[in-house]
Amino acid sequence: MTPTLRLALVLAAGLLAGATQAQMTDATAIVEAANQASYYAGDDGRSAARMMIVDGNGNRQRRQFTLLRQDVEDGGEQRYLVVFSRPADIRGTVFRVEKHVGERDDRWLYLPALDLVKRIAAGDKRTSFVGSHFYYEDISGRGVSEDRHTLVETTDEAYLIESTPRDPDAVEFARYRTRINRDTLLPMRTEYERADGEVYRRMEVTEVETIDGYPTGTETRMTDLDSGGYTVTQFRYSEYDIGIPADIFSERSLRNPPRDWLRRD
C-alpha cells in the first residue's frame, strides 16, 4: 500500500467513524510514531530534569541535570549533552552522546575534578542511567526495529502494543506491552514481562503538557516491581526548536558548558 493510499484510507476511516483523530492499524507505524513523539519532538530541545531515586527501603537520592538534544535526522541520529548540577559529588560532570541507529553510540564523560575527558565503551544500553531505575535506553529511546510489534487492542484512547525482542538474549525481558495515547502518540505506560508473563518493571507517564506545540511527558515514573524501588523524573522549562548549533555538541562543551544554551529563557 502506498503511503498516500494508506493515508487516504485512514482519513476515510476517520471521517466515516466521525472520529477526531486518525486510527492507525499498523503496529510498527504506531511504534515509530510514538518513538518520534517521545524522543524527536522538534529539531532540537532543552530541558531541565531531576530525578528522585527511591530504593526498596525508602532511601532517597537525587539527580539534577540539564539536557540539550539535537536531531540529525528524524527517527535517526541524535546528539545529546547532559550537564549535572546535583548531587554534590557529580556536580559539573558532563555526559555527551552521539546516538546512532543500528550501531553503537559514541559516549564521552567529563570528570571536572581531574579535568578528564573519558571515552566510554558503548556497552549494554539496558543498565542504569546515573544510578536511577531508568536505563540509558529509556532516556534516549530503543530502536524500533529491535523488537517485533503487534497491535493487541485499540480503544477510544489508546493503542495497546505488544513487543517481543528479535534478539531475546540481548535483553532481560521476554516482552513488553505499551499503551500509546491516540491523541498525543505518547507511550503512557509500558510494562516489561518475564517469560512467565509476570510484570517486573513498569514505566508510567504521570504528567503531560503541550510545549511549543509538542505534547511532552513532564513526569515519568519507573518502578522496579521486584524491589519496590522507583525513580520519578520530572522535566521542567522544556523548549523546542531553539536552534542549538551542532558544534555545541563537542569536547569544548564538556570542559566549558555552553551557558548561553543551558540558560532558561
* Interacting residues toward another protein by CB under 8 A: 48, 50, 52-53, 55, 59-62, 64, 66, 85-89, 91, 98, 104, 106, 113-117, 119-124, 126-128, 130-131, 229, 236-237, 247, 250-252, 255-257, 259, 262-264
User: Nearest 5 degrees, angle CA 217-CA 142-CA 125?
Assistant: 110
Inter-CA distances, 170 with 87, 88, 94, 183, Å: 32, 35, 28, 33
* Cβ at position 66, least distance to another protein in Å: 6
End-to-end CA distance of the chain: 45
By beta-carbon proximity to another protein, the closer residue of 10 and 48 is 48
By beta-carbon proximity to another protein, the closer residue of 20 and 59 is 59
By beta-carbon proximity to another protein, the closer residue of 6 and 86 is 86
Check if the beta carbon of residue 259 is closer than 8 Å to that of residue 44. no
* Cβ at position 219, least distance to another protein in Å: 12
By beta-carbon proximity to another protein, the closer residue of 6 and 50 is 50
Computed from CA positions of residues 100, 250, 81, 62, in that sequence, does the dihedral angle turn out positive or negative? positive
* Cβ at position 205, least distance to another protein in Å: 18
Q: How far apart are CA 107 and CA 122, in angstroms?
A: 7
